[in-house]
Amino acid sequence: MPDALTLPRPDDWHLHLRDGAALAAVLPHTARQFARAVVMPNLSPPVVRLADARAYQARIEAALPPGAAFQPLMTLYLTEATPPEALIEAAESGAVVGVKLYPAGATTNSDSGVREVSAVLPQLEVMAAAGLPLLVHGEVTDPAVDIFDREAVFLERTLGPLLERLPTLRVVLEHITTAAAVRFVDAAGPQLGATITAHHLLATRNDMLVGAIRPHYFCLPVLKRARDREALLEAAARGPSRYFLGTDSAPHAVDKKECPAGCAGSFTAHAALELYAEAFDEVGALDRLADFASRNGPRWYGLPENDGEVTLLREEWAPPAAYPFGAGALRPWRHDKPLRWRFVG
């Protein structure tokens, strides 16, 4: 069993950085490990226009620790009112790598999202023509659909027909959680990529609900069954593929998680690579983490791979029970169990 793991400097293809004091608190964790991250636009109000994305990018760059070599890759939040011309302008600017589709009501700050995909077809058509990728939160919000089935139903009802209708639209199915999603991505062509979080590779709904309710395991899409986790591990550890690393690290202050109506989101940026290494180690695939973390994403997005390398050691450590988070505190995921790998830079 190797005790050290070196890989090309990786990227995080799905990340929540928030804004203001929260941004300042979480950004150093990601900038330490990753060269680039695709920054989600679900601020309040959301990042809708190119000018919003440029301003948010400037705030992120201003919040970077001195000397940090980190590039935020910006996204726009798709609304039914987004003018198609604004997306052409965004694509031509080169300042955004994708446009995020949140089904309205699916998750944190998704109220301005899309109620019906048919209502944004003109926008999706110009994105297909401009080669601007659509990043999808793949869950239906139909109250009649059980929360554990919302991803599978979205693939069948919404994403399948959309990919057929717009075969040149490039799409990333974000944070996949089910064996059904792996089958769907496998069956699709090169137009479709998918991100997988560390927490969905390491945990199931049992971790969240057996014996006690553990709110830091509550994220969207929710953790699924053991057989889903196995399918995700198999897909992530395949080597060169259309699956790539996206932490979906989603910080919420501890009082917004440990309360009667807690927010969805797990904060994993403090130990992102360590968590992925643990998952790949479990299936004897440490040698394939470099594809998943450092090569598959740039290849799908048509961006260069990063220079430089990072190293992890097989060494137990425990994160603190909480990190500072503006005026509040942030409970890191896996504060309850030691981590098995340590990032050394």
Our CB check for ligand NCD shows the closer of 220 and 275 to be 220
23, 220, 223, 233: which one binds ligand NCD (CB under 6 A): 220
7, 11, 13, 16: which one binds ligand NCD (CB under 6 A): 16
Our CB check for Zn ion shows the closer of 250 and 310 to be 250
Question: Would you state the structure tokens that stand for residue 218, as one six-digit string?
Answer: 């509550």
Question: Would you state the structure tokens that stand for residue 56, as one six-digit string?
Answer: 């948010």
30, 33, 42, 75: which one binds ligand NCD (CB under 6 A): 42
3-class state of residue 140 by DSSP: coil
Calculated CA dihedral for residues 190, 220, 18, 329, nearest 10 degrees: -140
Rounded to the nearest whole angstrom, what is the least distance from the CB of residue 168 to Zn ion in the complex? 25
Q: Does residue number 265 form part of the binding site for ligand NCD (CB under 6 A)?
A: yes
Angle between helices 84-93 and 121-130 (to 10 degrees): 20
Q: In the 8-state DSSP scheme, what is residue 195?
A: E
Angle at 55 between CA 170 and CA 326, to 5 degrees: 105
CA 272 from chain centre, in angstroms, equals 11
What stretch of H or E contains 301?
A: helix 296-301
DSSP string over 255-296: HHHSSTTPPP----GGGHHHHHHHHHHHTT-GGGHHIIIIIH
* Residues found near Zn ion in the complex (CB under 5 A): 248
Does 186 participate in catalysis according to the annotation?
no
Cβ–Cβ < 8 Å for 281, 340: yes
User: E strands along the chain, which residues?
Assistant: 4-8, 11-15, 36-39, 71-77, 96-101, 134-136, 171-173, 192-196, 243-245, 309-317, 323-325, 328-330, 339-343
Our CB check for ligand NCD shows the closer of 123 and 268 to be 268
Q: Does residue number 151 form part of the binding site for ligand NCD (CB under 6 A)?
A: no
Which partner from the list ligand NCD, Zn ion, none does 153 bind, CB cut-off 5 to 8 Å by kind?
A: none
Our CB check for Zn ion shows the closer of 5 and 75 to be 75
Which partner from the list ligand NCD, Zn ion, none does 107 bind, CB cut-off 5 to 8 Å by kind?
A: ligand NCD
Cβ–Cβ < 8 Å for 254, 22: no
Name the pairing type of β-strands 96-101 and 71-77: parallel
Rounded to the nearest whole angstrom, what is the least distance from the CB of residue 19 to Zn ion in the complex? 15
Question: Would you state the structure tokens that stand for residue 101, as one six-digit string?
Answer: 């589709």
Our CB check for ligand NCD shows the closer of 248 and 274 to be 248
Tokens 């945990």 correspond to what residue?
203
Instruction: Check the CA dihedral 28-303-78-268 and report its sign.
Output: negative
47, 219, 285, 339: which one binds ligand NCD (CB under 6 A): 219
31, 201, 202, 250: which one binds ligand NCD (CB under 6 A): 250
Rounded to the nearest whole angstrom, what is the least distance from the CB of residue 43 to ligand NCD in the complex? 9
Tokens 């994105």 correspond to what residue?
127
Our CB check for Zn ion shows the closer of 249 and 294 to be 249
Instruction: Check the CA dihedral 158-163-165-169 and report its sign.
Output: positive
Rounded to the nearest whole angstrom, what is the least distance from the CB of residue 174 to ligand NCD in the complex? 7
Q: Please give the residue whose beta carbon sits closest to Zn ion in the complex.
A: 248
Q: Does residue number 331 form part of the binding site for ligand NCD (CB under 6 A)?
A: no
11, 12, 228, 248: which one binds ligand NCD (CB under 6 A): 248
Distance CA 110, CA 94 (A): 25
Per-residue contact track with ligand NCD, 114 to 143, x per CB under 6 A?
-----------------------x------
Our CB check for ligand NCD shows the closer of 195 and 306 to be 195
Cβ–Cβ < 8 Å for 65, 28: yes
57, 82, 107, 204: which one binds ligand NCD (CB under 6 A): 107
Catalytic position from the list 248, 281, 307, 336: 248
Which partner from the list ligand NCD, Zn ion, none does 42 bind, CB cut-off 5 to 8 Å by kind?
A: ligand NCD
Active site residues: 248
| Contacting residues toward ligand NCD, per CB under 6 A | 16, 42, 107-108, 137, 219-220, 248, 250, 264-265
